[in-house]
C-alpha cells in the first residue's frame, strides 16, 4: 500500500459518503442515503409476487449502468489529464467530481462520454435480443414488466438514462455540452449562465408536472435539478470574478505570526485579541508551518495551554505563489480542506489567503468594486 501524501489525506469529500472501492484508480463512494435504496431492494425482493426478484435485478442493473456512465466521464477526463477526485453515488444518480473545470472542447467530450456509455449498453443488449429473439416488445416493457423481458427493460432503462442526461440544462451532461458549444462564440461565464437558467426552467417545469400528476419522485428529482443548476450558476459567477487575477490582489497582508516556542495559550490570546484564526508559525525569520484554529483548540483541550506551538504546527500547509491565478487558488484551497494557505514568494512569507477573505473578495467584486491595483 502506498502511503497517502498530505494533500490526499486532507482532501475534502462530499460529507456523508461512505468509502467503498476503487475502479481504474478512482475512489467510488456511496452517499449514506443510498442505504434507502438497499432497504427498498430488500422490501421489493421479499415481496410475494412472480417478478419480485427481477425487479431487484433491474434496479441493481440500472445503478451499475449509472456507475459505468460516471466511469465513462472519468476515463475521458483522464485522457485529457483531468483527475477525478471521486465518484459519489446518490439514490437519484451519480456525480463525478473533477479536480477542475476543463476547457470547453475537453468538457464537450467528457460530458458526451457518460450518455454514450448508456447508448452502448442499450445498443448491445437490444442487438443481442434482436439476434436471439426477434419478438421484441418495445418501450412498453417498462410499464409491463415480465420475467421474459428483463434484459429488454434494462436496455430501455439505459436509453432513458442517456436521453434524460442529454437534456440541454445544468446539472445534466446536456447542460455541459450546451455550455461547451455556446462557448465557441460566447464568453464561458455567459454560456454557463445560459445553461444554468435553462436548468432552472427545466426544474420548474418538471416540478409542476410532478405536482399536477402527483408523482413524488419527479418532484424530488426536479428539486435536485434546481439546486444543481443554481449551484453551477453561482460557481461560475465566482470564477468569472476571480479569473485572470493573481493571489496577491486578494491576500491578507496584515497578520500576526506565532513563534514555534510560544505556547498554545499565547496563540489563543492572540486569537482573542485579533480577528485572525490561522497563524503562520515562525522559527527565527523563517516560516515553518501553519497553526490553524481547530488544531489550536484541540491542543488546548487535550494538552492544556502550556503545550508548545511547535508540537501542533502543520508543517505541510498549502503554499501558494502570489502570482497564482485566484481561480486556481480557490480550487486548491477547496480541495485541500484547509481554511488557510500561506502565500510564499520563494522562501519569504508575503501573505495569507483564507476561504473567508476569498469570498469577501468575490462579494466586493460582485457589488462593483474594481480589483485593487498591485503596488
199 sits near Zn ion (criterion: CB under 5 A): no
d(C-alpha 119, C-alpha 170), whole Å: 20
* Smallest gap from residue 97 Cβ to Zn ion (A): 12
* Smallest gap from residue 69 Cβ to Zn ion (A): 5
Smaller CB separation from Zn ion, 66 or 188: 66
Smaller CB separation from Zn ion, 202 or 358: 202
* Smallest gap from residue 92 Cβ to Zn ion (A): 13
Tell me the H-state helices in 246-375: 264-273, 293-303, 309-312, 326-336, 355-366
Sign of torsion over alpha carbons 275, 278, 279, 280: negative
Nearest-CB residue to Zn ion? 114
| Beta carbons of 352 and 322 less than 8 angstroms apart | no
Q: DSSP letter at 306?
A: T
| Beta carbons of 174 and 158 less than 8 angstroms apart | no
Count, in order, helices (H) and strands (E) of the chain: 13, 10
Smaller CB separation from Zn ion, 111 or 353: 111
Smaller CB separation from Zn ion, 66 or 352: 66
Q: DSSP letter at 97?
A: E
Q: Which of residues 123-182 bind Zn ion (CB under 5 A)?
A: 173
d(C-alpha 111, C-alpha 97), whole Å: 12
Q: Which of residues 70-129 bind Zn ion (CB under 5 A)?
A: 114
* Smallest gap from residue 173 Cβ to Zn ion (A): 4
* Smallest gap from residue 354 Cβ to Zn ion (A): 33
x/- binding map, residues 281-300, to Zn ion, per CB under 5 A?
A: --------------------
Say how many residues touch Zn ion, by CB under 5 A: 2
* Smallest gap from residue 94 Cβ to Zn ion (A): 7
CB atoms within 10 A of CB 200: 18
Binding site residues, Zn ion, CB under 5 A: 114, 173
Amino acid at each position: 500500500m502506498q502511503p497517502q501524501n498530505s494533500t490526499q489525506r486532507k482532501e475534502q469529500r462530499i460529507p456523508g459518503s461512505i468509502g467503498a472501492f476503487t475502479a481504474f484508480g478512482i475512489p467510488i463512494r456511496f452517499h449514506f442515503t443510498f442505504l434507502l435504496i438497499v432497504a427498498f431492494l430488500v422490501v421489493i425482493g421479499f415481496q410475494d409476487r412472480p417478478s419480485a426478484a427481477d425487479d431487484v435485478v433491474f434496479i441493481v442493473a440500472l445503478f451499475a449502468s449509472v456507475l459505468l456512465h460516471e466511469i465513462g466521464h472519468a476515463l475521458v477526463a483522464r485522457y485529457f489529464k483531468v483527475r477525478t477526485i471521486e465518484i459519489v453515488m446518490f439514490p437519484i444518480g451519480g456525480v463525478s467530481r473533477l479536480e477542475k473545470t476543463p476547457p470547453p472542447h475537453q468538457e464537450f467530450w467528457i460530458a458526451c462520454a457518460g450518455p454514450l456509455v448508456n447508448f452502448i449498453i442499450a445498443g448491445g443488449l437490444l442487438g443481442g435480443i434482436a439476434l436471439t429473439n426477434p419478438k421484441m416488445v418495445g418501450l412498453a416493457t417498462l410499464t409491463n414488466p415480465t420475467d421474459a423481458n428483463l434484459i429488454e427493460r434494462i436496455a430501455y432503462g439505459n436509453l432513458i438514462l442517456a436521453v434524460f442526461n442529454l437534456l440541454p440544462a445544468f446539472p445534466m451532461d446536456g447542460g455541459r455540452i450546451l455550455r461547451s458549444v455556446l462557448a465557441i462564440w460566447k464568453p464561458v461565464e455567459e454560456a454557463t449562465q445560459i445553461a444554468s437558467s435553462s436548468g432552472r426552467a427545466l426544474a420548474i417545469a418538471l416540478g409542476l408536472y410532478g405536482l399536477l400528476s402527483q408523482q413524488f419522485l419527479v418532484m424530488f428529482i426536479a428539486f435536485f435539478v434546481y439546486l444543481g443548476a443554481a449551484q453551477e450558476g453561482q460557481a461560475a459567477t465566482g470564477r468569472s470574478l476571480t479569473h485572470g487575477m493573481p493571489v496577491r490582489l486578494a491576500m491578507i497582508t496584515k497578520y500576526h505570526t506565532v513563534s514555534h516556542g510560544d505556547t498554545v495559550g499565547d496563540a489563543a490570546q492572540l486569537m482573542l485579541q485579533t480577528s485572525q484564526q490561522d497563524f503562520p508559525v515562525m522559527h527565527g525569520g523563517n516560516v515553518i508551518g501553519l497553526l490553524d484554529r481547530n488544531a489550536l483548540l484541540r491542543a488546548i483541550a487535550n494538552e492544556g495551554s502550556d503545550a508548545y506551538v511547535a508540537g501542533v504546527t502543520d508543517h505541510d500547509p498549502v503554499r501558494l505563489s502570489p502570482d497564482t491565478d485566484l481561480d486556481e487558488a480557490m480550487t486548491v484551497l477547496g480541495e485541500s480542506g484547509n481554511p488557510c494557505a500561506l502565500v510564499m514568494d520563494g522562501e519569504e512569507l508575503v501573505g495569507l489567503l483564507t476561504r473567508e477573505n476569498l469570498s469577501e473578495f468575490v462579494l466586493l467584486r460582485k457589488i462593483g468594486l474594481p480589483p485593487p491595483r498591485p503596488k
